[in-house]
Chain A
Amino acid sequence: MAEPVAVRADGGEREPAGFAFEDRPRMLEGVRAYGLIMAMWVRSTMAYRASFAMTLFGDFAVTAFDFVTILLMFTHVDALGGYSLPEIALLYGLSATAFGVCDLLLGSMDRVGGRVRDGTLDTLLVRPVPVLAQVAADRFALRRLGRITQGLLVLGYALVTLDIAWTPLKMLMLPMTVIGGAAIFGAIFIAGAAFQFVAQDASEVQNSFTYGGTTLLQYPPTVFAKDLVRGVTFVVPLAFASWLPALYVLGREYPVDLPRWVAFLSPLVAAGACGLAGLAWRAGLRSYRSTGS
């Protein structure tokens, strides 16, 4: 009796279905599943091109209003918190682009709570791919490219108008910040989603960190209270998504006393945040599977 069980346990070659299950790395499986679901949504979006173009422009315009606000302020003042318009444009461009990338990739994560409430999470749990990938790719919205576009435009404006003595390190800092920043925002999205397993209406808390966080980062740290700056540096490491690297590029002092090389920790901080968020997600999913609510 033990034998057939053992045979089935140790490999796919005897699975009755012709397409045997193979143990594949979960990470890769997740990425593949994400790609499949994303491709499907993109295809379905592209079925209505005009509608897509309009929503894309809508997203672009709505998010661009944030920068219009800043422009309006500068019609009355020459500097905000000691920063000129191009300098603020750099902060804005970095954080808006990083957040835009993350919002594009993980923007549907705040629907986890709703899925727990109405039970549709169960339908994801019976599919052979990681739940996180399915949740993240759900309703993948290409129109969110609008936010990235406006972020990049503002970033471009800043780079053209700013007079910076570029070094290789400073040049490296820009892509690193966008990627690291996207990862940090992503970690917050995932951790927030994990929290929604416990408190199903918590998506607003998460939004205050993500959408609120990106607005915060668009202004220089000098306009905020020091405790708040410390909070987004050491507790929720949003400062690594824009302030610290941008201030390094600008050659400015960070209001919280930190050595200058800390700006280079952005990828490490991002990796750490993602790791913690992953653990939180697993804990959340596990608690869902043991409580069913």
Chain B
Amino acid sequence: MAGGAAVLPEHGQLRNHGNDGNDGNDGNDGNDGNDGNHRNHDNERNHSNHRNHDNDRNHSNHRNQEPTGPDGTTRESTDMADDGFISLDGVEKVFEVRRRAGLLRRERHEVRAVDGISFRVARGEMVGYIGPNGAGKSTTIKMLTGILTPSGGRLRVAGIDPSRERTRLAHRIGVVFGQRTTLWWDLPLRDSYRLMHRMYRIPERRYRENLDRCVELLDLEKLLEVPVRQLSLGQRMRGDIAAALLHDPEVLYLDEPTIGLDVVSKAKVRRFLKELNAERGTTVLLTTHDLTDIEQLCGRVMVIDHGRLMYDGSLTGLHEVGESERMLVVDLESELPPIRLESADGGGQPAVRAVKVEGPRQWLAFPAAASAAPLVARIAADYPLVDLSVREPDIEAVIARMYESTP
């Protein structure tokens, strides 16, 4: 992966730092629409689907409720700039770390937490942002919310420079930090929400609608009078998500939204986010360690490591890039030596690799991109097959392998 990007037209692309030619684009405000040429077909398709859905919903529902609302005009005008609803061009964040080295002398060294990241997210997209600890995920989110000021590059969210107009942007974004709550620790949920209502100047009716909706979908009814500190992690997370959505944000950032949650809570949160994105067209950007989040929610995934964007594309594409393998688990009638299948095109590589044999059960690895059906047919023809199942690859391993393959 040295040199230029290895572009995979169907599923996504590998990226190298600074190769997309946008880095020097700083002074060129309002030029967002032209930067979409590196986007692949796969994503394009996703966007239009989302957008249609979103608009339909708006016509039938939102606009009827609020006949005087300015929704229509804005949507049209921003639709043109959709490609760059969130746009980053060569964004950097450098921290200077000082370490004591001797009595008075201090050693300085730079930590490049985010090292030249460029991407576009369209309105209504749901994007997963993954990478190992310390890769720069949270730093990116903090820059996108205006908490941190980038050291370099250009960054826009809904046309706003987050670090310069932080409070203005705050009205249009919702933020959920998985590790800490934005609610008031000692107060009941309802009080926190009431305060948000006033603080964001949310019109009464809209507030009540949004609150009712969140209470219903996130199952908060019984929790409203409970002080936040008494909530379980899953309950608190649901409370936090509701708090982030009361003011109808156009973008929702979630930093590890399912961290530490049990299976039921995770499922609730995921279902809610899915519906939110589908019905309201809210753009969602989430960082996570739980790849099931990505699998179930995100049509697009970005992988970041050492502050650089390593991959941007679909999840299937990630498997290809990571050379991941699927696992065929077969149960034979009796204990047999490991199954060997010659490659279909007669090449040297066998089509499957026996990973493990345990009595009559065998685990056979084959490339994730290959089709399982012909393999199954050939095994069934040659061996006494009783039962079989196909296991999807472990994406964590995929990503780990990707990191290994890059210098």
Measured CB to CB, the residues of A under 8 A from B are: 1-9, 13-21, 23, 29, 33, 36-37, 40, 43-44, 118-120, 122-123, 125-130, 139, 286, 289-293
Interface flag for B168 (CB, 8 Å): yes
Q: Of A21, A37, A122, A286, which is within 8 A of B147 by CB?
A: A122
Q: Is the CB of B171 within 8 A of A118?
A: no
Q: Is the CB of B180 within 8 A of A292?
A: no
Per CB-CB distance, the 9 closest pairs between chain A and chain B, nearest first, are A4-B77, A128-B170, A2-B30, A5-B30, A123-B182, A16-B74, A126-B175, A125-B147, A21-B171
Q: Is the CB of A44 within 8 A of B191?
A: yes
With A1-B33, A33-B199, A36-B198 given, is the CB distance from A18 to B206 under 8 Å? yes
Interface flag for B55 (CB, 8 Å): no
- Kindly list chain B residues whose C-beta atoms are within 8 Å of the C-beta of A292: 95, 139, 142, 147-148
How many residues of chain B are within 8 Å of chain A by beta carbon?
60
Interface contacts beyond A17-B248, A19-B201: sample of 20 additional A-B pairs, CB < 8 Å, sorted by A: A1-B31, A1-B34, A1-B80, A2-B29, A2-B30, A15-B171, A15-B172, A17-B250, A19-B203, A21-B171, A33-B199, A40-B184, A40-B195, A44-B186, A119-B177, A122-B177, A128-B170, A128-B199, A129-B199, A291-B95
Q: Is the CB of A126 within 8 A of B146?
A: yes
- Kindly list chain B residues whose C-beta atoms are within 8 Å of the C-beta of A139: 186
Interface positions, chain B 159-208, Cβ under 8 Å from A, are 159-160, 163, 166-168, 170-173, 175, 177, 179-182, 184, 186-187, 191, 194-195, 198-203, 206
Q: Of A7, A119, A128, which is within 8 A of B168 by CB?
A: A128
Give the residue among B69, B181, B200, B203 with the most A Cβ atoms within 10 A. Answer: B200
Q: Is the CB of A9 within 8 A of B187?
A: no
Q: Report the bound CA distance from A1 to B33 in whole Å.
A: 7
Q: Is the CB of A126 within 8 A of B182?
A: yes
- Kindly list chain A residues whose C-beta atoms are within 8 Å of the C-beta of B30: 1-2, 5-6
Q: Is the CB of A290 within 8 A of B69?
A: no
Q: Is the CB of A1 within 8 A of B32?
A: yes
Interface flag for B40 (CB, 8 Å): no
Q: Is the CB of B147 within 8 A of A8?
A: no
> A130's closest neighbor in chain B, by CB?
B167
Q: Is the CB of B198 within 8 A of A21?
A: no
Q: Report the bound CA distance from A151 to B74 in whole Å.
A: 57
A-B contact pairs, 23 of them (CB 8 A): A1-B32, A1-B33, A4-B78, A4-B80, A5-B30, A5-B159, A7-B77, A15-B172, A16-B71, A16-B250, A17-B247, A18-B203, A40-B187, A43-B191, A119-B180, A122-B177, A123-B177, A123-B180, A126-B182, A128-B170, A128-B200, A130-B167, A292-B147
With A125-B145, A289-B149 given, is the CB distance from A37 to B195 under 8 Å? yes
Interface positions, chain B 93-151, Cβ under 8 Å from A, are 95-96, 139, 142, 145-149, 151
- Kindly list chain B residues whose C-beta atoms are within 8 Å of the C-beta of A37: 195
Give the residue among B142, B201, B203 with the most A Cβ atoms within 10 A. Answer: B201
> B139's closest neighbor in chain A, by CB?
A292
Q: Report the bound CA distance from A16 to B248 in whole Å.
A: 9
- Kindly list chain B residues whose C-beta atoms are within 8 Å of the C-beta of A40: 184, 187, 191, 194-195
> A23's closest neighbor in chain B, by CB?
B168
- Kindly list chain A residues whose C-beta atoms are within 8 Å of the C-beta of B158: 8
- Kindly list chain B residues whose C-beta atoms are within 8 Å of the C-beta of A44: 186-187, 191
Interface flag for B75 (CB, 8 Å): yes
Q: Report the bound CA distance from A23 to B180 in whole Å.
A: 30
Q: Of A16, A127, A286, which is within 8 A of B70 by CB?
A: A16
Give the residue among A8, A17, A139 with the most B Cβ atoms within 10 A. Answer: A17
Interface flag for B406 (CB, 8 Å): no
- Kindly list chain B residues whose C-beta atoms are within 8 Å of the C-beta of A23: 168
Q: Report the bound CA distance from A130 to B170 in whole Å.
A: 11
Q: Is the CB of B148 within 8 A of A126?
A: no
Q: Report the bound CA distance from A129 to B171 in whole Å.
A: 10
- Kindly list chain A residues whose C-beta atoms are within 8 Å of the C-beta of B182: 123, 126-127
- Kindly list chain B residues whose C-beta atoms are within 8 Å of the C-beta of A1: 30-34, 80-81
Q: Report the bound CA distance from A101 to B194 in whole Å.
A: 27
- Kindly list chain A residues whose C-beta atoms are within 8 Å of the C-beta of B175: 123, 126
Q: Write out, one digit per residue, whether chain B residues 233-270 have a CB within 8 A of any chain A CB (1) or not (0).
A: 00000000000000110100000000000000000000
Interface positions, chain B 275-332, Cβ under 8 Å from A, are none
> A7's closest neighbor in chain B, by CB?
B77
Interface flag for B345 (CB, 8 Å): no
- Kindly list chain A residues whose C-beta atoms are within 8 Å of the C-beta of B216: none
- Kindly list chain A residues whose C-beta atoms are within 8 Å of the C-beta of B200: 19, 128
- Kindly list chain A residues whose C-beta atoms are within 8 Å of the C-beta of B248: 17-18
Q: Of A6, A21, A122, which is within 8 A of B142 by CB?
A: A122
Interface flag for B382 (CB, 8 Å): no
Interface flag for B358 (CB, 8 Å): no
- Kindly list chain B residues whose C-beta atoms are within 8 Å of the C-beta of A3: 77
Q: Is the CB of B147 within 8 A of A126?
A: yes
> B81's closest neighbor in chain A, by CB?
A4
Give the residue among A21, A129, A293 with the most B Cβ atoms within 10 A. Answer: A21
Q: Is the CB of B168 within 8 A of A21?
A: yes
Q: Report the bound CA distance from A286 to B147 in whole Å.
A: 10
- Kindly list chain B residues whose C-beta atoms are within 8 Å of the C-beta of A286: 149
Q: Of A13, A18, A122, A293, which is within 8 A of B180 by CB?
A: A122
Interchain nearest-CB distance for A243 vs B (Å): 39
- Kindly list chain A residues whose C-beta atoms are within 8 Å of the C-beta of B173: 126
Give the residue among A2, A8, A130, A139 with the most B Cβ atoms within 10 A. Answer: A8
